[in-house]
Amino acid sequence: KAGVTQTPRYLIKTRGQQVTLSCSPISGHRSVSWYQQTPGQGLQFLFEYFSETQRNKGNFPGRFSGRQFSNSRSEMNVSTLELGDSALYLCASRTYQANEQFFGPGTRLTVL
């Protein structure tokens, strides 16, 4: 089985812009979660989607949003980018019955 894929792998944006990140889960996995990883804050949960519905949400401002499509692919959007949004954004998929998360390689976002 192919693993979780994320595009793009690297992104450079300027403050105030918006960005959309994409995640394709492992075939058959209907749950997709997004995490933000920074040196200072570690791995922080953003949100989880299952069957196109947001099931859980972390403590992030409304500038962070996401969605999931009928084929389980997911996108994450960040609007009005701030310098502090620079991070590695990781997507993880799982079957809803299991807890094990399979992470993608991440998108490295740099905000200048």
104 binds another protein (CB under 8 A): yes
Contacts of 81 by beta carbon, 8 Å cutoff, 6+ apart: 13, 14, 15, 16, 17, 18, 19, 111
Q: Does 105 contact another protein by CB under 8 A? A: yes
Q: By CB under 8 A, tell whether 99 contacts another protein.
A: yes
Give phi and psi for 83, each to the nearest 5: -55, -40
Nearer Cβ to another protein (37/79): 37
Q: What minimum distance in Å lies between the beta carbon of 101 and another protein?
A: 6
Per CB under 8 A, 106 contacts another protein: yes
Question: Quick count: other Cβ atoms within 10 Å of Cβ 14?
Answer: 10
Residue type, 13: K
| Positions that interact with another protein (CB under 8 A) | 33, 35, 42-45, 48, 55-56, 58-59, 90, 92, 99-106
